[in-house]
């Protein structure tokens, strides 16, 4: 059974210059315990799709269910069952890591004691224990992203949405975050919906990929299957997406166009 299912999901923004179709009828299915890589160039519609699936933006077309809840009819149910880590995060720089985690737990109606225990658990799982009493302002980029993810996991969500989680991180911090995402799937069975414009990240992490461009799905499958299927592809939409992400078109003899 799918934990995320969308059919014809769409959003059109109304602007002074006229309507802008940011997402044009996306169909997708995500299985429980899967890491889905939602891949595409900047402006492809990735974040708009993610914001719809997390109830932050109402669809203007189509339908979806997330963790058994209808997106339109049960938005509160969706929010109870998901974690969301935005691109920019949202920690208070003036308080400690421990205070931030406990506050998040209290917002999810944990008792003070339960929230304190959960903070310790997450700190241990995400290598934050030595940082618990450090102000959030003193964290490095990689440490802050681990805290962002911990905040998204406080209430033990069934699905974790990560919006371009490694943007701006150094290679070492990116590798640490990749290991963390794999652990969430392997040790906790968490379903992860990962948006990215990094081909190497999508290839390394994802059980399955959905490639979007100009608001529509242009390809989907496992990384290995897409490499084989679209090496030297004549598909214009896929080539446009590939060009926007990498700065080059797949060469006819290139056997691994999704690895850079």
**Taking 60 as the threshold, does the pLDDT of residue 14 lie above it?**
yes
Higher pLDDT among residues 198 and 12, named by residue: 12
Distance CA 161, CA 193 (A): 5
> How much is the average pLDDT of 106-127?
94
**186 occurs within a structural domain:** yes
Phi, psi dihedrals of residue 148, rounded to the nearest 5°: -55, -45
How far is residue 35's CA from residue 179's CA, in Å, rounded to a whole number? 13
112 located within any domain: yes
Q: Could you report the per-residue pLDDT of 192-229, keeping only the tens digit for each?
A: 999 988 888 888 899 999 999 899 998 899 888 887 77
| Structure confidence at residue 260 (pLDDT) | 32
Task: Report yes or no on 117 lying in a domain.
Answer: yes
Neighbour order of strands in the sheet with 208-213: 82-85, 159-163, 191-196, 35-39, 208-213, 216-221
Please give the model's pTM, rounded to 2 decimal places: 0.86
Q: Is residue 143 part of a domain?
A: yes
Where helices occur in 96-140 by DSSP H, the ranges are: 97-107, 112-125
Chain mean pLDDT for the chain: 87
Any domain includes 8: no
User: Which helix (H) or strand (E) is 68 found in, with range?
Assistant: none
Question: Is position 199 within any domain?
Answer: yes
Interatomic CA distance for residues 162 and 83, integer angstroms: 8
Q: What percent of the chain is modeled with pLDDT above 90? A: 61
Residue 203, helix vs strand vs coil: helix
b/e map of 32-54 (b: 16 or more CB within 10 Å)? ebbbbbbbbbeebbbbbbbbbbb
**pLDDT, tens digit, for every residue of 47-89?**
999 999 999 999 999 999 999 999 999 999 999 999 999 987 7
Q: Is residue 161 part of a domain?
A: yes
Judge whether 25 lies within some domain: no
Count of domains observed in the chain: 1
d(CA 65, CA 1): 12
| Residue 54 DSSP one-character state | T
- Please tell me the predicted confidence (pLDDT) of residue 95: 95
**For residue 200, what are its two tokens?**
């190497």
Rounded CA gap, 131 and 115, in Å? 17
Supply the range of the domain harboring residue 90.
31-246
Q: Look up the CATH number of the domain holding residue 145.
A: 3.40.50.300
């Amino acid at each position: 059974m799918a934990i995320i299912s969308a059919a014809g999901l769409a959003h059109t923004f109304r602007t002074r210059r006229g309507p802008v179709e940011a997402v044009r009828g996306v169909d997708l299915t995500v299985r429980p315990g899967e890491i889905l890589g939602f891949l595409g160039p900047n402006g492809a519609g990735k974040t708009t799709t993610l914001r719809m699936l997390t109830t932050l933006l109402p669809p203007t077309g189509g339908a979806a269910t997330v963790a058994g809840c209808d997106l339109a009819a049960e938005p509160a149910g969706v929010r109870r069952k998901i974690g969301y880590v935005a691109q920019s995060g949202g920690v208070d720089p003036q308080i400690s890591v421990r205070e931030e985690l406990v506050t998040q737990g209290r917002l999810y109606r944990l008792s003070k004691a339960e929230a304190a225990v959960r903070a310790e658990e997450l700190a241990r799982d995400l290598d934050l224990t030595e940082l618990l009493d450090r102000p959030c302002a003193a964290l490095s980029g990689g440490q802050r992203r681990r805290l962002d993810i911990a905040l998204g996991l406080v209430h033990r969500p069934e699905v974790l949405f990560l919006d371009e989680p490694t943007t701006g991180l150094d290679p070492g911090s990116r590798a640490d975050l990749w290991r963390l995402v794999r652990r969430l799937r392997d040790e906790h069975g968490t379903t992860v919906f990962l948006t990215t414009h990094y081909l190497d990240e999508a290839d390394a992490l994802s059980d399955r990929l959905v490639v979007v461009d100009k608001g529509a799905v242009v390809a989907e499958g496992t990384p290995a299957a897409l490499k084989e299927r679209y090496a030297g592809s004549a598909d214009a939409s896929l080539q446009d997406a590939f060009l926007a992400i990498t700065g080059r078109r797949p060469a006819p003899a290139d056997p691994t166009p999704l690895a850079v």
